[in-house]
Chain A
Amino acid sequence: MVSMEELQSKFRALYNEVHRAVVGQDQVVEQTVAAILCNGHAYVEGYPGLAKTLLVKTLASIMDLRFSRIQGTPDLLPSDITGTYVIDESKGKKEFKFEPGPIFANIVLVDEINRATPKSHSAMLEAMQERQVTVGNSTYKLEEPFLVLATSNPIELEGTFKLSEAQLDRFLFKINIGYPKLEEELKIVDMYSEKSVDDIKLRKLFSKDEILKLQMLTRQVPVANDMKKYAVQLITDTRNKKDLIEYGASPRASIYLILAAKARAIMNGRKYVSKEDIQAMAYPVLRHRIILSFEAERQGITEDEAIKQILKK
């Protein structure tokens, strides 16, 4: 039998350990962990220097997961992501050997994904969706757990390739990473002016098997019918509120919203989904799945404000 108290204390320890390296960004940490539990992918948007890479590396280290990084550039090729065949002469004769690319990891950070070409996007998104890559005539299964964290910079958009709405829909969450508070920034300055990131020795709190077990448990969290109805109603409202939203979220959003709420419940030591879970997870699940109306954009309403208005209804 699962002990929720035990799980909760383990997650608390995880947060404490993450905060040894990353100061603040509680919501970002929570949403990234939730993405791992849901076995989904996250799209992180934020300015440079906000510890996006550090957060992912820290989580990978604490969870004992293999981490890799891909830098999005216009000359990035799909084979740079998936891997390619190389000539192997080690056995005395020439033969092709598959050299796996950086996608063969548990946590893959795709930095500035919008700088890569649509061809590379497509290779990446195929791997994200199918959890396997096909090179030549062979298909290679990716190791579980598999999480892609793609980042993008909201400024310097020249020479970038915006991800289409269909591609964005593949991401479970869109996580907005903001600037830290004054006290947090002071702490960051104190921490990293005295030592480097490598000096911080992090404990391994979860094993790969434990993460897989947690992913299974997340899906087992029961949901009351009225909670399901509430979540689906929220998604339906995004399609009906034409004054704010031009295009609403798809049924995939309903599935992800419930799943994300389950992950949040388990992270908070609960065996059931509450309304707060749905409300809290509505932001990362919906913000990249809605397209604001012209009127809303004219008024300077952001996606988060539109979601807030729908939640208030």
Chain B
Amino acid sequence: MQIVEKALNELKKAMLILQIGDKLFNALLIFTLFLLLFNLLKLKWYYSFVPSLGYLIGIAMYTYITNIYLVVEGKVPEMKEQLRTVADNVNKSNEILDSLKQDVIKNMRKVKTSYFMDFRRLGIRVLMICVLAFIIVLMSFFNVKFEFSGFDLNDNVNEIGIRNSGPEAVRLEYSLSEGNLSDILGNKSLAELGKKEFKLEINPLESDADLSIISNADSENDFSEPNFPKEIYTRYDVAYNEKIAKENQDVVRNYFEEIIGDNNG
């Protein structure tokens, strides 16, 4: 391997390490910022990984397509266009190119790591991370959260499928539960009551409830997250006219119509 090739590889490696460090710092800042935001919005803390991972993937792709020598040339004008030329022609050899390689090696001594580190920017980012971390600690201590009446962001995130439901979880559409399952779930307005206090009076004479048996109220989860066994399913019932003899079907139909008529009347 030629000296210039070694030097170029070393330069590339150093630049990559610097860039990775810099981008990780940015990712940490993004993570802290979103952690604060998601804490305020009562979202799960680990959602903050999504934007920072997205940033890291994006920046990795950008770094991959960016010519790293172009970055060096930007900071060291003496090497403008020379570094790229040598890097692209490293395996060739002729009088002019060899002379250019010598020049590049000479100029490489002028490349300093500090050229690529903006200490002011770095300091600002460290300060921002510290401030954000402090705010997060304070928020956790005082339990500061945004409340949205009747609206839970976590539910909405679940709806759009960000959180992976476990194998045991049963998803129920509320629109369905209102119609067919209200007997099991109870009235939805009660579920929305949440932690609010309400006064309930029962007349023992008009109720079948045994008031001697008193226990603590069920947790609110019973309303918020239905926990049905998986076996619950619906099927079409067999039509009555399939079991009744053909000659008696008219009699039975008339009988039911009369009952319905009586009830409505």
Contact = CB atoms under 8 A, between A and B. Distances in A.
Nearest to A223: B85
Contacts of A2: 95-96, 99
Interface string B62-105: 00000100000000000011101111110010111111101100
Given A217-B95, A271-B97, 8 more contacts: A1-B98, A4-B99, A217-B96, A220-B97, A222-B86, A222-B96, A272-B85, A273-B81
Contacts of A217: 95-96
Given A2-B95, A221-B96, A274 B89 contact: no
Contacts of B103: 271
Given A271-B100, A272-B81, A224 B95 contact: no
A196 interface: no
Nearest to B100: A271
Contact of B100 (A222, A225, A226): A222
B96 A226 contact: no
Nearest to A217: B96
Contacts of A273: 81, 85
A1 B96 CA distance: 8
B88 A272 contact: no
A122 B196 CA distance: 101
Interface of A: 1-2, 4, 217, 220-227, 266, 271-275
Nearest to A262: B96
Contacts of A222: 85-86, 88-89, 92, 94, 96-97, 100
Nearest to B82: A272
A274 B81 contact: yes
A226 B67 contact: yes
A7 B84 CA distance: 23
A267 to B, nearest CB: 13
B251 to A, nearest CB: 85
A275 B70 CA distance: 13
Interface of B: 67, 80-82, 84-89, 92, 94-100, 102-103
B81 to A, nearest CB: 5
A1 B99 contact: yes
B99 A271 contact: yes
B96 A224 contact: no
A211 to B, nearest CB: 16
Contacts of A266: 96
B11 to A, nearest CB: 16
B82 A220 contact: no
A226 to B, nearest CB: 6
A162 to B, nearest CB: 40
Given A226-B67, A271-B103, A220 B88 contact: no
Contacts of A272: 81-82, 85, 100
Given A225-B88, A226-B67, A271-B103, A220 B96 contact: yes
A4 to B, nearest CB: 7
Contacts of B84: 224-227
A275 B84 CA distance: 12
A6 to B, nearest CB: 12
Nearest to A221: B96
B152 to A, nearest CB: 52
Contacts of B82: 271-272
A275 B81 CA distance: 9
Nearest to A228: B88
A158 to B, nearest CB: 49
Contacts of B102: 1
Contacts of A226: 67, 84
Nearest to B83: A224
B31 to A, nearest CB: 35
Contacts of B92: 222
Contacts of A275: 81
A274 B98 CA distance: 18
16 contacts: A1-B99, A2-B96, A4-B99, A217-B96, A220-B94, A220-B95, A222-B85, A222-B88, A222-B94, A222-B96, A223-B85, A224-B88, A225-B84, A225-B88, A271-B99, A272-B85
A271 B96 contact: yes
Contacts of B98: 1
Nearest to B87: A224
Nearest to B84: A224
Contacts of B86: 222
A226 B80 CA distance: 13
Closest 10 CB pairs of A and B: A224-B84, A271-B100, A272-B85, A220-B94, A222-B89, A224-B85, A220-B96, A225-B88, A222-B97, A224-B88
Contacts of A4: 99
A221 B86 CA distance: 11
A154 to B, nearest CB: 37
B12 to A, nearest CB: 16
Contacts of B99: 1-2, 4, 271
A293 to B, nearest CB: 34
Contacts of B95: 1-2, 217, 220
A266 B84 CA distance: 18
B88 to A, nearest CB: 4
Instruction: Pick the most buried of B81, B95, B97, B102: most chain A CB atoms within 10 A of its CB.
Output: B81
